[in-house]
Each structure stands twice: as C-alpha cells, then as structure tokens.
Amino acid sequence: MARAATTSDVFNAIAEPQRREILVLLRAGERPVTELAVELGMSQPRASKHLRVLREVGLVRDRKAGKQRLYGLDARGLRPIHEWTGGFERFWNGSFDRLDAYVQDLKQARQED
C-alpha cells in the first residue's frame, strides 16, 4: 500500500520527528525560519520545507514582519490528534484506577494479617 502524502492530514505531517520538534519550539512563540533552522541544526531550505508541510495541514501559521516571515503554532490543528489520543487516555486512566484499587486491597490485606 502506498504511503499517504505528508500533507494529507495532521497525523502524516507529524510522523516526521523534526516537524514535531518545530512544533515544540513554536510553543514558546513566533520565530523566523532562520532561527528554527539553527536551533534544529538543519539548512534553512529544509526547515522551510517542513514548515510548508505543517502550514498546509493547519498546524502552523505565518505572517510577514518587515523582511522576515514569522511562523507560529496554530494548536487548533492538533484537535484531531487530541481527540484520537483521548480514547487511549480513558484506557490508561481505567487501568491505573484498577491498579490503585488492587494496591489498596493488598495494603488492607497486609494490615489485617
């Protein structure tokens, strides 16, 4: 089966670790591509390519500021991922609740001995 294009959805776009690193860096605020490239240890054209993918799926926005273009996080684009992982969060919370109940039962049994 052919792999989906990186711009087909948010999941494909963030499959690339360096794109996830860009999102982490943009949590702190807007930054120019040159700064992101230096921080990530990559060329400016490579960073621009990653930013284009992130922009096309709605995770990054850009704006002109003088001669620079600033990139910022648009976290609304993460909603599909948040919703998808929510099911796993409920699973893990349930598992931890059962583990906690088991530990409490063990403590109670130990106190009774």
**pLDDT tens per residue, range 62-77:** 999 999 999 999 999 9
Residue pLDDT, tens place only, 98-113: 988 899 989 988 888 7
- Average pLDDT over the chain, rounded to whole? 91
Over residues 25-30, mean pLDDT: 96
Residue pLDDT, tens place only, 41-70: 999 999 999 999 999 999 999 999 999 999
Q: How confident is the model at residue 2 (pLDDT cuts 50, 70, 90)?
A: very low
Class of domain 10-73: mainly alpha
> Smallest Cα–Cα separation from 16: which of 32, 27, 5, 2?
5
Report DSSP state, residue 77.
G
58 vs 23: CA distance, rounded Å: 12
List the Cα angle 51/52/53 in 5-degree steps.
Answer: 90
Q: How confident is the model at residue 95 (pLDDT cuts 50, 70, 90)?
A: confident
